[in-house]
Amino acid sequence: MSLPFSNPLTKLYRDDWLLAVHKPAGLLVHRSPIDRHETEFALQYARELNGGEHVYPVHRLDRPTSGLLLFARDPHTASLLGQAMMANSVHKTYQALVRGWPPEGGLIDHALREHALDKRLKDEPQPLREAQTRYTRLATTQLPVGIEGFATSRYSLMALHPLTGRKHQLRRHMQHISHPIIGDTNYGRTRHNHYFAERFGHSRLMLAATELRFTHPITGTPLHLEAPPSEDFQRVVWEIFARAFE
């Protein structure tokens, strides 16, 4: 049965075992105890794209993150993909707009403390887990806008490659190296976020999942899935990096 409203997901790839879609920013992947009042989820929309049949998410995207989201179409394929994820055999690429000019490339090797799943334990120390992210700087720009006491403001477009899968890993790692992602209300810089919200009329997290590379769990063939960033992401990037891309 079709849902009574338009489907916000875009189908990118489908075969007998896999379904890949583009998820817009602001949509939860599945029901969460943190957002008990939400009624729309990527999972239900993906099911509609799968002919009403169940799908199984094999990785997650934070609610404010847009981009490539992969589902398995049966439990066995989901299990195999889950094992590949745990073995770091699925290579992910994200694009992010960050404050400042990070080095041209590098590795962030910084352990992250787990988030308590039970709110009653939120004040108790949680275990540290190893976490690594590789990054490449794609472009830089400097705007004649004074923020936080500086006469100009610097920003960079980044390619981020998480080597582990910790909660909010990319957002926390970019904060750790003092180059937080624009639009990040948890780990970002408020004044920079406000500038982008005022200039572009919205305040989305400037983080997009753009690529997945892995071996197909059933056929054994290499698979490279791509999802260009959404229009609202690209509009911000093209406007502030116009000179860099000329």
Q: Which domains does the chain have, with CATH numbers?
A: 10-240 (3.30.2350.10)
Q: Which of 35, 62, 109, 123 is catalytic?
A: 62
User: What pLDDT was estimated at residue 34?
Assistant: 58
Distance CA 148, CA 178 (A): 14
Residue-level pLDDT at 55: 96
Mean of pLDDT over the chain: 90
Q: What integer pLDDT is reported at residue 118 of this predicted model? A: 45
Which DSSP string corresponds to 213-225?
EEE-TTT--EEEE
Q: Is 109 a catalytic residue?
A: no
Q: What is the pLDDT of residue 85?
A: 92
The answer to whether the CB of 70 falls within 8 A of the CB of 84 is: no
∠ at Cα 186 (105, 165), nearest 5°?
55
Asked whether 232 and 25 are in contact (CB, 8 A), the reply is yes
* Residues 6 or more apart in contact with residue 117 via CB below 8 angstroms: none
Q: In the chain, which stretches have pLDDT less than 70? A: 1-5, 31-39, 115-124, 243-246
Per-residue model confidence (pLDDT) at position 149: 84
Nearest residue to 168 via CA among 183, 194, 193, 186: 186
Which pLDDT belongs to residue 39?
A: 63
pTM of the model: 0.90
